[in-house]
Structure 1
Amino acid sequence: MTTTSRPERDSEASAEPIGHGPVRATTATPDAAQPEADPAPAPADVIPGPPNLAFEKWMGFLSSFVAPVTLITALLFYFGYVSSRTFFAYFGVDVDVLGLSNQAFVMRSPGALFVPLVIALILAAGLVVGHRLLRKRLKNADATVRTRVVAVIAWTGIGLILAGLVLALLWGVFGGWELAPLVTPLLLAVGAGLAAYAASTARALRGGSEGRSVVVLLVVAMVAGAFWATATLAEWWGRGQARALAADLASLPAVVLDTQERMFPGNDAILFQELEPHEEGQMYRYRYHGLRLLVQGGGRLFLVPDQWSPDASTLVVPYDDSVRVRFRFFPDADPPG
């Protein structure tokens, strides 16, 4: 019976599915024991790995911030408007009365953005290279050197921010300085960028989550400063284009203007001629030479004299039946007469 009962019990035990039936207590042998895990090192013995400076993360944040097409279009419109406003203001014309379309402002923006865009791309490439070199050095440096480097970057950024704030708050004193409108936002932008980089690096070295809001605010301040500086460059570009055009107006279409009523341009470069009535019903009695078409907008012509001077003025005439205009749309020394 013993020999027959054992196989039955063995077969029942082997047929019993795993995880079902009564739980049998087993005693682990020394051979089956798992190797004992090494005790966790004390906090003082932890060697920090390569610092995650999170530079690429913030660059990705900025790129995702400026990526939408609507935002890019809005920026193009703004810088086109700023440069156009400065350009026409040089000739005494308010750009808002021209009635230019949004597309016209966007088309005027690339010239104002080429220089700052190229500079920004070159600086971004240099910052990426510098960041990787610094990260490689900090990887092999001890904690003291890392802390010292972060402190130098942070205090440099704070110093630049303070200098920019002094220029901004004392604008009445430094406003006469020609470079103040550009230096002030650049100091704020560079200072905020360095401070944000130092704060982000310190967070990575500590391995904590504190200070994130400070980094975000500093990054926003850096973007605002860069935006301010770019707007200043757009103003300078528009003013420079206006001065270059005023020095040689031959590229503008020459205009001969006939009017029904007498005008007084007040500029010697504009020649006046009184027309004889050759036929009955002659509407136009006065003719003016020496004019160039600056721009047309809002149903009006904005005309400037051939020779621009500080005392020159821009003539605004309605583009309707009250005037008769003849143009020549290529530069020459013999305008229509």
Structure 2
Amino acid sequence: MTSPPPDPATALGRFGQVAGSVAQVVAPLSVLTALLFYFGYASSRARYLYFGVDVDTIGLSTQDYVMRSPEPLLTPLLVLALLAVVVAVVHERVHRRVQAALTEAKDADPKVAATGRQRVQRGSRRARAVVLAGDALLLVGVLLLLAFPLWGDWAYYTLVTPLLMAAGTGLALYGRRIARSLEPGQPPSGLVTVVLSVLLVVSVFWATATFAEWSGRGAAREVARHLDRLPAVILDTTERLNLTSYGVRESALPPNEGQTFRYRYRDLRLLIQGEDRLFLVPETWDASNSTLVVPMDDSVRLQFRFVNDPP
């Protein structure tokens, strides 16, 4: 016996279920990849700009930026994790007190109910105080945002402003939530909650991006303090480079038949390898130094020296 053909409607429904499941997995992964790419790009851009190199000229791939993102994101993620633990502990205690106060307020004993109502009123006042504190911090952050033409040159502006706005929106959201739980008849403010939530996400994103830039610049300074830790390179060229960087030694190669390379440069270090070029820096840092861009073709010859550490 031959089985009846599958119902097109059933097959279409199953396909829709599978597509929905795939979309639920792919969409978060795409967002996560985009975030990792952005923070890796922000950190790398600040890092190589310290050496005078625009990161877009290096030719790093999306995977390269994603792989470089954990370093600048480690500290913000640890801080957010610790804050989440603190908020969870505080919320658990507050929730227990709120439930206890609401239970007492509904007790059959008038004295117990009166005590419970007093506790509910005190909790409501404290919740409103938290909301006011959050609104004040948020207002200070907004004022700093509007004062960018005056305060934009402040070194900590791009970190203090989003942190104030994030703290303010977080306190305002939590205070409103506790107030609603203590006053069940209070109408919900859905629009305010959505706006504050979006503002919280944007502020955290801004602060994290700022820290990623600072992390890249700090990593660049650490590399500049120890340029001797980078791979050592000996560069041979067909033409004289007339380098202005301090500390790079130039010597003429002896002329030989068939020899196309005429000059040799020592005391260079490999900063990073791009898609089709190398970025070299002098072995010692100096304010007058510059980054040398070398194409990976037959016009140059490179030798990478062993590390001075006998096995």
- TM-score between the two structures when normalised by the length of structure 2: 0.81
RMSD between aligned residues: 2.1
Equivalent AA in structure 1 for residue 143 of structure 2: V
> How much does 1:251 deviate?
1.5
Q: CA deviation at 1:157?
A: 0.6
Question: For the residues of structure 1 that align with 2:194 and 2:179, how far apart are their CA atoms?
Answer: 14
Equivalent residue, structure 2, for 1:191: 168
Alpha-carbon separation, structure 2, partners of 1:77 and 1:314 = 25
Deviations 1:305-326 (A, max 9, x none): 0011222100011110001110
Q: Quick one: distance in 1 between partners of 2:81 and 2:306?
A: 39
Q: Which residue of 1 aligns with 2:78?
A: 118
Task: Determine if the alignment matches structure 1 residue 181 to structure 2 residue 158.
Answer: yes
**Maintained 8 Å contact 1:257/1:326:** yes
User: Retained in 2: the 8 A contact 1:254–1:327?
Assistant: yes
Q: Partners in 1 of 2:145 and 2:134 — Cα distance?
A: 16
Which of the two has higher C-alpha Rg?
1
8 A contact 2:233–2:302 mirrored in 1: yes
Q: Which protein is richer in helix relative to its size?
A: 2
User: 8 Å contact 1:99–1:298 — kept in the other structure?
Assistant: yes
In the alignment, which residue of structure 2 is the partner of 1:294?
Answer: 271
- The question of 1:153 aligning with 2:113 is answered no
CA-CA distance at 1:329 after TM superposition: 5.3
In 2, the alpha carbon distance for the partners of 1:162 and 1:206 equals 28
Unmatched runs of 5 consecutive residues or more in structure 2: 1-23, 102-115
Distance (whole Å) between structure 2 residues aligned to residue 173 and residue 307 of structure 1: 38
Deviation digits for residues 96-148 of structure 1, max 9, x if unmatched? Answer: 11111111111111111111101100100100111121222233253421321
1:333 CA displacement:
9.1
8 Å CA contact 1:200–1:215 kept in 2: the answer is: no
- In structure 2, the residue matched to 1:319 is 296
Residues 235-246 of structure 1: matches in 2 within 5 Å?
235-246=213-224
Q: For residues 287-318 of structure 1, what are the alpha-carbon distances to aligned partners after superposition, in whole Å with 9 as ceiling and x for unaligned?
A: 11110011111311100000112221000111
> Structure 1-normalised TM-score?
0.75
Residue 232 (structure 2) aligned to one of 254, 272, 277: 254
1:220 partnered with 2:193: no
2:35 corresponds to which residue?
A: 75
CA shift for structure 1 position 90:
0.6
**Structure 1 letter corresponding to 2:234:** V
- Write the letter of the residue equivalent to 1:78: Y
Q: Structure 1 residue 213: deviation in Å?
A: 1.7
Determine the C-alpha separation between the residues in 2 that align with 1:301 and 1:329.
18
Counterparts of 1:1-337 in structure 2, within 5 Å, are: 68-139=28-99, 140=101, 141-142=116-117, 143-204=120-181, 205-207=183-185, 209-277=187-255, 279-328=256-305, 330=307, 332=308
Whole-angstrom CA distance in 2 between matches of 1:316 and 1:301? 6
Distance 1:268 1:126 in 2: 52
> Which whole-Å CA distance do the structure 2 matches of 1:248 and 1:268 have between them?
16
**CA-CA distance at 1:175 after TM superposition:** 2.6
Write the distance in 1 (CA, Å) between the matches of 2:304 and 2:309. 14
2:236, 2:301 within 8 Å by CA — same for their partners in 1?
A: yes
Q: Which segments of 5 or more consecutive residues in structure 1 lack a partner in the other structure? A: 1-63
Aligned-partner Cα distance in 1 for 2:61–2:264: 32
**CA gap 1:299/1:285 in 2 versus in 1, 3 angstroms:** same
Q: Distance in 1 between matches of 2:191 and 2:204?
A: 20
